[in-house]
Amino acid sequence: MASAETTLLEAGTGNQVRITRIEVQGVMRRRLLDLGFVPGNRIEVLQKSPLGDPIAFRVNNTTIALRSEESSQIWGERIGE
């Protein structure tokens, strides 16, 4: 069964997500693509900061923290469930 699409914001700590699309626009979109947030790439949700924002993600062997403004606009499918 194909898992439902989720945003990185709602993917949940400890889960892995395969990116399907990025709705962020402009220079930030370019920056995210450069950092490895590209469709098909696997992202792991590492941890939330105490107030829930930002959230740390593991992408291409590097930890990147995103604010909810960005992580709510990146979509993917949970894998390994």
Partner 1 sequence: MRSYTIALAGNPNTGKSTLFNALTGLRQHTGNWAGKTVTSAEGFFEYDDASFRIVDLPGTYSLYSNSTDEEAARDYIIFENPDVTIVILDATSLERNLNLALQVLEMTNRVVVCINLMDEARRLGIKIDLKKMQEKLGVPTVAISARSKKGIDELLKQVMLVASGAVVPSPISITYSEEIEKKIAAIEPQVREMFGTHLPSRWIALRLLDDDESLLTSLKKWLQRDQNAASRKEVLQYGETACH
Q: Which of 1, 25, 62, 81 binds partner 1 (CB under 8 A)?
A: 62
Q: Which of 36, 68, 77, 78 binds partner 1 (CB under 8 A)?
A: 36
- Give the distance from CA 64 to its chain's centroid: 9
63 binds partner 1 (CB under 8 A): no
Task: Report, in Å, the least distance between residue 51 CB and partner 1.
Answer: 27
Task: Report, in Å, the least distance between residue 46 CB and partner 1.
Answer: 17
Rounded Cα distance between 13 and 68, Å, is: 14
30 binds partner 1 (CB under 8 A): yes
Own/partner long-range contacts of 56-61 (Cβ < 8 Å, ≥24 apart): 57/8, 59/35, 60/35, 60/36
